[in-house]
Homo-oligomer: A and B are copies of this chain.
Amino acid sequence: MASSNRQQELTVKPVGFVRNQCKEPILFSQRSGLEMQGAVEDFWQKVREINQMTSEIVIDPAAGDLLNGIDDFSHLLVLYWGHKTSAAGRALQQVHPMGRKDLPLKGVFATCSPARPNPLLMTVVKLQARRDNVLEVANLDAVDQSPVLDIKPYVKDMFPQEGVRTAAWMQKLMEEAKAMAG
């Protein structure tokens, strides 16, 4: 790239962390690529468990005013750090989606792989309750102790509904998810 300034490392500082019962990621990265923990059926079982699990997002009490008014939204976008992603995982440029060899090798930016150059992971969660600096949420796919970097309100109108095209392999995965994760 022309300007070295653009390649400069940037520093983020967690504003909080995740507290839940999910101790290990269901996808993990190795030098050889992305791997799924267990069989495909076990994977979807894990996804179902995650979908039913409640997580807490604990925000630094000194930064509690960041949350003022957040209760007026039913859903939030949570940006967290994939702290279980290895250096080898961050160096991968292509992966089999979900570590599944039956799916074609794809560029990491065409996938939701947690192994990516900057493991900035994002999920839409449902806000169930707020107790001061603690948010109780459903549907957060983060592992326990994941550093939380940012929270944004989920505003449906900002996400296109019409004319959205998705890769065939992703459609297949979404159909599997509907059928198996319930």
Contacts and interface: CB of A to CB of B under 8 A. Distances in A.
Contacts of A70: 107, 109-110
Interface string A142-174: 000101011111111111110111111010001
Interface residues of A, number: 72
A73 to B, nearest CB: 6
Copy number of this protein in the oligomer?
A: 2
Interface in A65-121: 65-70, 72-77, 79, 81, 93-94, 104-112, 116-118, 120
Interface string A1-31: 1010011111111111100000000000000
Nearest to A6: B17
B1 A8 contact: no
A57 to B, nearest CB: 10
A53 interface: no
A157 B174 contact: yes
Highest count of chain B CB atoms <10 Å: which of A3, A108, A124, A126: A108
A179 interface: no
A117 to B, nearest CB: 5
